A and B are shown apart, each in its own frame.
Chain A
Amino acid sequence: MISQGAAAAATTGSSSTNSAGADAADLCDLSPVPTLVVSPAFRIQRVSKGVEDAWHRGRHEFLGKDLFTALYGGSPLERFDRIPLVRAIEEAVATRNFRLCYAVYTARGVTWSARIIPIFRGDEMLSLVLDWDRVEPKTADAGGEVIQSALSVDEVLRLLIQTVKDYAIFLLDTRGYVATWNTGAELLKGYKREEIVGKHFSTFYGEDDLQAGKPEDELLTCLREGRVQDEGWRYRKDGTRFWANVIITALYRNGVHIGFGKVTRDLTERREAELRLVAAYEESAKLKNDFLANMSHEIRTPMHGMLSACTLLLDTKLDEDQRETANIISESGQILLQVINGILDYSKLASGNFSVNTDLVGVASIISSVVKNVQMTLVPGVYIKLVLAPGLPKSAQGDPLRFRQIFQNIIDNAVKFTEKGSVQVDASISAEDETSYTILTQVTDSGIGVPEDDVQNLFKPFTQLEKPTKKRFQGTGLGLSIAKSLAELLGGQMGYRPNPEHSGSIFWFTVKLKKIANFNQLGIPDMQLDQEAAKSQQDSEKERMLRRIREMAPHKRILAAEDNLVNQKVLSRVLNSLGFQNFTIASNGAEAVSLLSASPNAYDLVLMDISMPIMDGFEATRKIRTYGNPIPIIAMTAYALRGDNETCLEKGMDDYISKPVNINKLLQKLLTWLDSPDWSKTGTSEPT
């Protein structure tokens, strides 16, 4: 009740000049000190005589106006000018105490500071009183620079450098000893000023950088070039490290070197963010390629189904319309399949997952066979010419499938784009050294050629130069890009030049093929090899397989079902000789089934005789599969019962081997089913 009454009285007092408060109000008006009295809503209520005298502005410019508009109105940067005063008033009100606000108003070249006095009665703010003091101008320093006519440059710079927290800024003397230290340096590096001043700056470097002489190199470079910048690990007082960006600048006064300025920033977070970005980018590129590869693969399977169904359909009785439609389905399907294969190749190449096989390459025979096939697709009147240089190697080592694919691609293009004239294929040896040939294959056509502007885009993926609206030529635009990558993968190159004689193109590619120096290097025996070489080849292959299985055998467990005692003995002996120690021989199918159902994971592979008393191999397999056990089962089928082999696979077995069991065959089968697929895949083409 009381406070309410008091507040009401105060309001009347401050708003009336005739009441008992009039004297106090006059005092304010008459004061020689520039003074403004402002309402809690920042309306100016009183203006002292000092304001008029000192600022040469009329009372009417202030009375009843908004404080900030009256002070800063008309300045183009008004919204910046008011910031310090607004903040100071907030603080004064919050603390209910006076505040100084330095150099906040300038009139006629003189700068004034405000003393802000909040007047409270109880919890109610009655008014704000702003007293103004003149800021004595600093005399300009040697450089003639004065900031705000109040602070010297030296002072400001010292403050600036001392208080910056996010940068370590400090000086080194000419030999690299720390001379100054700022707050940023203290925060970043963890040393107090008194701990580090006088110490050498190489303290901040790690052992590796010190060994490599990095600190001294940096100073030398800095002296030579004026500055040096570096990013790397630096160490704090507590031994933790941060990723620093460091700039060292050589400092001179009057041409005399006096030391180095060093600015260090902590970029640990940015570096981590960068690494995360790079990882994310790599991950997404990988995902994209995986996705492409998976999709292509998934699409191919039903495509094959559709195409075979279509072929069957075409074999049935169809009328002309139906046949035409079925043909369109078939052709479109073939094209779609090519597109998918192209994408699959591209995604494999892009992700670096493309594997190159090593096999025999007969350059001449591959080229002739492709040319023979392509002849069927020539436009009538276009002829094809094949020039094989003498001396092309009959066989060399390389990837015949990929070689064929590259050649097929460029000759398909040549034929596709040639409507009259000819296509010529030249193959020759472009270089040869002791271990390899470089084979140049060149396809020259008299087709539409490539416009000069488009040449640079020829080998870019998903680019088709021919405008799609013409629809004359189909394709994904992946072919050449894939072919070029393949050529590079085979140690060669691919290129284009215009046909110099008339319109048309010349596409060429090279591949490197290894010479067959020693037949033993080959993964496969060849008809041309003499028997001796083939035999030693087989022997070494066998030895390699033996080594591998003996490595593996101790960790693998085999269950064999065989009823004949003689065969049991021989089989045990064979398995022993291959290094297997853990195998069980069951004397009929029922025994095998009960062993497996008792402990489904006790074995890695089953060798299953077919004809056994009590329960035969087929029945046993059926039972094992019924329990859901996917263990590989290799049938041992008796000699000469035709059809047995196929029956084995139909009945749920995985493979078969005929009896009497040949130790080498068994060895191969066991490797196939017990070893990781990678090994057997790379193993067969690996030179021994």
Chain B
Amino acid sequence: MALPDDKELEAIFGDTIDLTTFKQILEMDEPGDNEFSSSIVFGFFDQAEETFASMDTALDAEDLEKLSELGHFLKGSSATLGLVKVRDGCEKIQRYGKQENLDGSPENDVKVCLEQIKKALTAVKSDYEEVETGLRNFYKDDDDEDGA
């Protein structure tokens, strides 16, 4: 398929996606199909859902270190796709997991950190769902199987 123009993409994703980064992924597709980019995106969905589940577990266990690691992990892939909101949420989790405030200053109160992570996780899940829906719609137009 031809590369969608910026307006079309904005209409689908709003501010949930950094268009420059996402287009860079789309440009990696062979002309005529979007096999590569959709495999990346759907790979990311699996990864995200797994990670959120692990985060829930770690939050229950109050394992800040694990939470920070998971936050960093998902931050990497969401940044690669340009999913800025998810990326920012993950960074919050990573920070508080390291017992830091968002500006890098130390936050020694474990309770505060866990509380912040809980909030951030809820927010990032909803951000994720929003962008997931957008992405699934985006790929559904071209390939019904993928969109199902």
Chain A residues close to B by CB (< 8 Å): 563-567, 569-570, 573-574, 577, 609, 611, 613, 638-640, 642, 659-663
Number of B residues whose C-beta is below 8 Å from A? 23
Check A659–B76 contact: CB distance below 8 A: yes
Could you say which of A564, A640, A663 contacts B73, with CB atoms under 8 Å apart?
Answer: A564
Interface CB pairs A-B, < 8 A, 25: A563-B73, A563-B76, A564-B77, A564-B80, A565-B47, A566-B77, A566-B80, A566-B81, A569-B39, A569-B40, A570-B25, A570-B28, A570-B80, A573-B36, A611-B69, A611-B76, A638-B75, A640-B91, A642-B104, A659-B80, A660-B21, A660-B79, A660-B80, A660-B82, A662-B21
Could you say which residues of chain A place their CB within 8 Å of the CB of B75?
A: 638-639
New contact pairs (10) apart from A566-B44, A638-B75, A639-B87, CB-CB < 8 Å: A564-B77, A566-B43, A566-B80, A569-B39, A573-B36, A638-B79, A639-B79, A640-B91, A660-B21, A662-B21
Check A638–B28 contact: CB distance below 8 A: no
Q: Does B126 contact A (CB under 8 A)?
A: no
Q: Does B57 contact A (CB under 8 A)?
A: no
Q: Does B24 contact A (CB under 8 A)?
A: yes
Chain B residues close to A by CB (< 8 Å): 21, 24-25, 28, 36, 39-40, 43-44, 47, 69, 72-73, 75-77, 79-82, 87, 91, 104
Q: A613-B69, A639-B75 are in contact. Are A663 and B40 (CB under 8 A)?
A: no
Could you say which residues of chain B place their CB within 8 Å of the CB of A663?
A: 24
Check A659–B28 contact: CB distance below 8 A: no
Q: Which residue of A lies closest to B36 (CB)?
A: A573
Check A662–B79 contact: CB distance below 8 A: no
Could you say which residues of chain B place their CB within 8 Å of the CB of A573?
A: 28, 36
Could you say which residues of chain A place their CB within 8 Å of the CB of B79?
A: 638-639, 659-660
- Quote the shortest CB–CB distance from A150 to chain B (angstroms): 106
CA distance A564 to B77 in the complex (A): 7
Could you say which residues of chain B place their CB within 8 Å of the CB of A577?
A: 28
Q: Which residue of A lies closest to B39 (CB)?
A: A569
- Quote the shortest CB–CB distance from A399 to chain B (angstroms): 35
- Quote the shortest CB–CB distance from B67 to chain A (angstroms): 14
Could you say which residues of chain A place their CB within 8 Å of the CB of B80?
A: 564, 566-567, 570, 659-661
Q: Which residue of A lies closest to B25 (CB)?
A: A570
Could you say which residues of chain A place their CB within 8 Å of the CB of B21?
A: 660, 662
- Quote the shortest CB–CB distance from B52 to chain A (angstroms): 15
Q: Considering residues B28, B39, B43, which has the most beta carbons from chain A within 10 angstroms of its beta carbon?
A: B28
Could you say which of A567, A574, A642 contacts B28, with CB atoms under 8 Å apart?
Answer: A574
Could you say which of A565, A611, A642 contacts B72, with CB atoms under 8 Å apart?
Answer: A611
CA distance A609 to B79 in the complex (A): 14
Q: Considering residues B21, B43, B69, B80, which has the most beta carbons from chain A within 10 angstroms of its beta carbon?
A: B80
Could you say which residues of chain B place their CB within 8 Å of the CB of A659?
A: 76, 79-80
Could you say which of A564, A574, A642 contacts B76, with CB atoms under 8 Å apart?
Answer: A564
Could you say which residues of chain B place their CB within 8 Å of the CB of A563?
A: 73, 76
Could you say which residues of chain B place their CB within 8 Å of the CB of A639?
A: 75, 79, 87, 91
Q: Which residue of B lies closest to A562 (CB)?
A: B76
CA distance A96 to B82 in the complex (A): 114
- Quote the shortest CB–CB distance from B54 to chain A (angstroms): 13
- Quote the shortest CB–CB distance from B117 to chain A (angstroms): 17
Q: A577-B28, A662-B24, A663-B24 are in contact. Are A638 and B76 (CB under 8 A)?
A: yes
Q: Which residue of A lies closest to B74 (CB)?
A: A564
Could you say which of B40, B47, B69 contacts A570, with CB atoms under 8 Å apart?
Answer: B40
